[in-house]
């Protein structure tokens, strides 16, 4: 097998993993702390892409658009939490699934009304447009490296925030015992709003940084959302570390499966069977992985400590 | 007629009456297209009844139930594509395949509970959805046209006849409600409901709830597979969109809207849900902007769905 192609595809998988992590981190925080299943997280991914993309086009700079997107998504996230989701915390998961499903329909249609049905094209920022050599004859687009670096920085920042700061301590306290933390004087509703805002920013960031590659489209967050579900099921709900590892594993396996599975199948299948089975099996690969992991560890690979 | 004093039952009776009489009345008022509209609604109602079996009575929130519509539908489509049009092969194959896939998916997902279960059923359904998209031979995204409807080989009984098709669907809808009534009121149903309210307690008296749930999951999958067979025959077309996860969400909604764990709730739920969609869609192209918040409001303020609302009013009077 060609090692240049293999490395490139590996990096592509890693980059998909980074996008998944940005989504899964928010989802798993919101679920772990507030016990809320939020399907509309995919809508936040889409809104981040459209709002950030518009800001980038207006200011003429992708980086400024990205920086402006962060406070914008924080505000949007807080608005969504305060107006719609807050009432759902005491409800059961079914109500949460249904209400956030309703929100998805609303957000998709709202985006269609504002930006039109054809979506939004955001060009690659010029400074990041190009290909860089990584040695050994391997070349890779600068922009994809930019995505990987941003993702790793955010992952590290999130780790610092959760494990080293006072806010992180409150978040962990709220996650392990809401009532007790509240009794000790933590303003739980305010903390929830903040955590949801952070989740919204992460989802919006993921949506925006992938947009120059895929374009902003209506419903773009939904496939990513379901992949992020797979990720947090594999990683263990509520665990950021689990979400990170599972994201990268999922991203890499999915990407490598799509590019190399037909080659692997050729080893023990006739050519035409391998060619037709390749795409079918590779699209199922990560779900098979999820099923296998659940079979042995129903709580996921890294269930958070103290969670029941 | 005491049962009809309850407005919820009255509403159910009204919906069933509409279903029963549409082919007679619709041509008289010159609105024949309603026959197809209601045939479509009844197919969704069958799927909703099947979901209610596991969700309403078993507490299992399956977010991938529409996948069995796709399995049933694609069985008809793919067999017809290869020239096998006999209903005596297509229908058993579709039902068996739905049951088999429900067995595998259930065996995996029922090992987990709560949110994990929701996400896993969603992910597994998504797997089949992507499989259908990657099947280039069978039309991928564009779907698959079905040239000939299932052939029962009986002269006077042909699904090409509009009325036969309509009343076949109607009969199967009534049969599916009957099956769920029999199931719920059997020992099997009692275990399901007991496991829903307290799983540990049922297990501690020596009943394997996993096996009961898996059985219910498979039956529900097969019943929904039948709805898929019917849909493929009605539309003469199948596509991956049949098992788009939005369809699964809509199915859950129909059940909740009509009233979970009530016998006819899924039927009235499907009726109201789809009629409302039709009406809103005829007002504006952007009807989801009204429909989305409507769904949120139903969840927030109308627990128990239509059955709950109507019954509560009745009790207050």
* Residues A163-172: tens digit of each pLDDT: 888 888 888 8
**In this predicted structure, what is the pLDDT of residue A219?**
84
In chain B, the DSSP E strands lie at 144-145, 237-238
When pLDDT is cut at 50, 70 and 90, the band that residue B312 belongs to is low
For A298, which residue in chain B has the nearest alpha carbon?
B112
Using a CB-CB distance cutoff of 8 angstroms, which residues of chain A are in contact with residue B55? 94
Structure tokens at B54: 């596991």
**In this predicted structure, what is the pLDDT of residue B173?**
96
More confident position, B219 or B112: B219
Q: Is B83 on the interface with A (CB under 8 A)?
A: no
**Alpha carbons B20 and A256: distance in angstroms, whole number:** 54
Q: Do B289 and A107 touch (CB under 8 A)?
A: no
Of A178-187, A215-224, B139-148, the one with minimum mean pLDDT is A178-187
Collapsed DSSP state (helix, strand, coil) of residue B284? coil
Report DSSP letters for A98-143, one per residue.
HHHHHHHHHHHHHHHHHH-TT-B--PPPGGG-SEEE-STT-EEEHH
**In this predicted structure, what is the pLDDT of residue A308?**
36
**Alpha carbons A265 and A258: distance in angstroms, whole number:** 12
**In this predicted structure, what is the pLDDT of residue B317?**
46
Q: Do B292 and A287 touch (CB under 8 A)?
A: no
Segment A15-24 shows an average pLDDT of: 93
- The owner of tokens 């990584």 is A134
Q: What's the pLDDT tens digit per position in B151-163? A: 888 878 888 888 8
pLDDT above 80 for B313? no
Using a CB-CB distance cutoff of 8 angstroms, which residues of chain A are in contact with residue B136? 276, 279
Using a CB-CB distance cutoff of 8 angstroms, which residues of chain B are in contact with residue A112? 286
Gap from A146 CA to chain B (nearest CA, Å) = 30
**In this predicted structure, what is the pLDDT of residue B113?**
82
Q: For residue B145, list its beta bridge partners.
A: B237
- Asked if ipTM goes beyond 0.90, one says no
As to burial, measured by CB atoms within 10 angstroms (0-12 exposed, 13-18 middle, 19+ buried), residue B65 is buried
Q: For residue A131, list its beta bridge partners.
A: A141
Segment A269-279 shows an average pLDDT of: 72
More confident position, A167 or A277: A167
Q: Do A295 and B115 touch (CB under 8 A)?
A: no
As to burial, measured by CB atoms within 10 angstroms (0-12 exposed, 13-18 middle, 19+ buried), residue A48 is buried
Q: What's the pLDDT tens digit per position in B286-309? A: 888 888 888 888 888 877 777 777
Q: Report whether B15 contacts B267 (CB < 8 A).
A: yes
- Report the residue from A97, A230, A237 with minimal CB separation from B63: A97
Structure tokens at A70: 């962060």
Q: Is B137 on the interface with A (CB under 8 A)?
A: yes
When pLDDT is cut at 50, 70 and 90, the band that residue A307 belongs to is very low
pLDDT above 70 for B284? yes
Q: For residue B154, list its beta bridge partners.
A: B157
- Residue to test with chain B: of A39, A97, A117, A246, most B Cβ within 10 A: A97
Segment A187-212 shows an average pLDDT of: 90
Q: What's the pLDDT tens digit per position in B203-250? A: 888 888 899 999 999 999 999 999 999 999 999 999 999 999 999 999
Structure tokens at A9: 């595809």
Report DSSP letters for B76-117, one per residue.
HHHHHHTT--BHHHHHHHHHHHHHHHHHHHHHHHTTS-HHHH
Q: Is B78 on the interface with A (CB under 8 A)?
A: no
**Alpha carbons A200 and A44: distance in angstroms, whole number:** 6
For B137, which residue in chain A has the nearest alpha carbon?
A276
Name the percent of chain B lying above pLDDT 90: 46
**Alpha carbons A88 and A100: distance in angstroms, whole number:** 9
**Alpha carbons A141 and A133: distance in angstroms, whole number:** 9
Segment A198-222 shows an average pLDDT of: 90
Q: Report whether A120 contacts A50 (CB < 8 A).
A: yes
CB atoms within 10 A of CB A127: 12
More confident position, A266 or A166: A166
- Report the residue from A103, A226, A295 with minimal CB separation from B292: A103
Q: Do A290 and B293 touch (CB under 8 A)?
A: no
Q: Report whether A59 contacts A68 (CB < 8 A).
A: yes
Gap from A208 CA to chain B (nearest CA, Å) = 24
Report residue A125: phi and psi, to 5°: -60, 135
Q: Report whether A186 contacts A173 (CB < 8 A).
A: yes
The winner for highest mean pLDDT among A118-127, B73-82, B113-122, B285-294 is B73-82
Helices (H), A119-219: 142-164, 166-176, 178-183, 188-214
Q: Is B63 on the interface with A (CB under 8 A)?
A: yes
First-residue to last-residue Cα distance in chain A? 45
CB atoms within 10 A of CB A177: 12
Q: Do B292 and A109 touch (CB under 8 A)?
A: yes
- Report the residue from A93, A104, A113 with minimal CB separation from B61: A93
Q: Do B116 and A98 touch (CB under 8 A)?
A: no
**In this predicted structure, what is the pLDDT of residue B252?**
94
Segment A32-46 shows an average pLDDT of: 88
pLDDT above 80 for A148? yes
**In this predicted structure, what is the pLDDT of residue B217?**
96
Collapsed DSSP state (helix, strand, coil) of residue B237? strand
Name the percent of chain A lying above pLDDT 70: 97
Segment A133-143 shows an average pLDDT of: 80
Q: Do A298 and B299 touch (CB under 8 A)?
A: no
**Alpha carbons B51 and B219: distance in angstroms, whole number:** 10
Q: Which residues contact B285 (CB under 8 A, 6 or more apart)?
A: none
**Alpha carbons B162 and A16: distance in angstroms, whole number:** 49
Q: Would you list the domain boundaries of chain B?
A: 37-244
- The owner of tokens 């809103």 is B280
pLDDT above 90 for B200? no
**In this predicted structure, what is the pLDDT of residue B215?**
94
Q: What's the pLDDT tens digit per position in B260-282? A: 888 999 999 999 999 999 898 88
**Alpha carbons A171 and A192: distance in angstroms, whole number:** 9
Gap from A246 CA to chain B (nearest CA, Å) = 15
C-alpha A121, offset from chain centre: 21
Q: Do B295 and A105 touch (CB under 8 A)?
A: yes
**Alpha carbons A237 and A30: distance in angstroms, whole number:** 10
Collapsed DSSP state (helix, strand, coil) of residue B144? strand
Q: Is B256 on the interface with A (CB under 8 A)?
A: yes
Q: Is B153 on the interface with A (CB under 8 A)?
A: no
Using a CB-CB distance cutoff of 8 angstroms, which residues of chain B are in contact with residue A97? 61, 63, 118, 249, 252
Q: Which H or E run includes A227?
A: helix A220-235
pLDDT above 80 for B1? no
**Alpha carbons B188 and B204: distance in angstroms, whole number:** 17
């Amino acid at each position: 097998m060609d090692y240049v192609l293999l490395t490139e595809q590996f990096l592509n998988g890693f980059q998909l993993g980074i996008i998944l992590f940005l989504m899964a981190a928010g989802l798993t925080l919101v679920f772990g702390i507030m016990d809320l299943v939020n399907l509309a997280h995919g809508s936040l991914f889409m809104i981040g892409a459209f709002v950030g993309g518009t800001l980038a086009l207006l200011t003429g700079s992708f980086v400024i658009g990205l920086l402006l997107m962060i406070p914008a998504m924080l505000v949007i996230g807080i608005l969504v939490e305060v107006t719609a989701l807050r009432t759902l915390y005491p409800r059961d998961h079914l109500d949460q699934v249904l209400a956030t499903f309703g929100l998805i329909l609303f957000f998709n249609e709202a985006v269609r009304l504002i930006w039109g049905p054809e979506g939004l094209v955001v060009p690659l920022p010029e400074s990041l447009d190009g290909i860089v050599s990584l040695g050994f004859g391997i070349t890779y687009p600068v922009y994809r490296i930019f995505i990987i670096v941003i993702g790793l920085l955010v992952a590290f920042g999130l780790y610092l925030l959760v494990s080293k700061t006072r806010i992180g301590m409150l978040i962990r306290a709220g996650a392990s015992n809401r009532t007790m933390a509240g009794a000790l004087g933590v303003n739980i509703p305010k903390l929830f709003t903040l955590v949801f805002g952070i989740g919204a920013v992460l989802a919006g960031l993921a949506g925006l940084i992938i947009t120059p590659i895929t374009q902003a489209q209506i419903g773009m967050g939904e496939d990513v959302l379901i992949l992020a579900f797979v990720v947090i099921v594999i990683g263990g709900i509520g665990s950021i570390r689990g979400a990170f590892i599972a994201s990268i594993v999922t991203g890499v396996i999915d990407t490598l499966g799509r590019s190399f599975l037909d080659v692997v199948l050729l080893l023990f299948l006739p050519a035409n069977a391998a060619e037709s089975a390749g795409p079918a099996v590779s699209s199922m690969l990560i779900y098979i992985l999820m099923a296998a992991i659940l079979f042995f560890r129903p709580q996921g690979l890294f269930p958070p400590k103290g969670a029941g | 007629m005491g049962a009809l004093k309850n407005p919820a039952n009255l509403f159910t009776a009204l919906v069933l009456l509409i279903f029963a009489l549409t082919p007679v009345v619709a041509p008289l008022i010159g609105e024949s297209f309603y026959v197809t509209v209601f045939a479509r609604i009844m197919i969704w109602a069958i799927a909703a009844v099947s979901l209610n079996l596991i969700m309403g009575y078993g507490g299992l929130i399956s977010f991938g139930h529409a996948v069995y519509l796709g399995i049933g539908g694609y069985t008809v489509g793919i067999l017809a594509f290869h020239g096998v049009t006999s209903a005596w092969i297509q229908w058993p194959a579709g039902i068996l395949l739905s049951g088999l896939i429900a067995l595998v998916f259930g065996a995996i997902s029922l090992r987990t509970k709560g949110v994990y279960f929701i996400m896993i059923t969603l992910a597994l359904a998504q797997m089949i959805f992507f499989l259908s998209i990657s099947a280039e031979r069978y039309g991928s995204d564009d779907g698959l046209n079905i040239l000939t409807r299932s052939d029962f080989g009986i002269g006077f009984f042909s699904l090409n006849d509009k009325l036969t098709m309509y009343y076949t669907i109607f009969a199967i809808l009534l049969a599916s409600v009957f099956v769920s009534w029999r199931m719920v009121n059997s020992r099997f149903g009692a275990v399901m409901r007991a496991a829903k309210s307290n799983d540990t307690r049922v297990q501690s008296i020596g009943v394997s709830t996993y096996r009961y749930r898996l059985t219910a999951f498979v039956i529900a999958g097969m019943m929904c597979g039948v709805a898929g067979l019917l849909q493929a025959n009605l539309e003469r077309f199948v596509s991956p969109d049949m098992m788009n996860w939005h369809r699964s969400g809509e199915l859950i909604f129909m059940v909740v809207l009509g009233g979970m764990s009530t016998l006819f709730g899924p039927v009235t739920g499907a009726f109201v849900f789809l009629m409302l969609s039709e009406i809103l869609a005829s007002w504006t192209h952007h009807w989801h902007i009204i429909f989305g918040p409507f769904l949120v409001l139903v969840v927030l303020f109308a627990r128990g769905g239509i059955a709950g609302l109507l019954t509560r009013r009745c009790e207050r009077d």
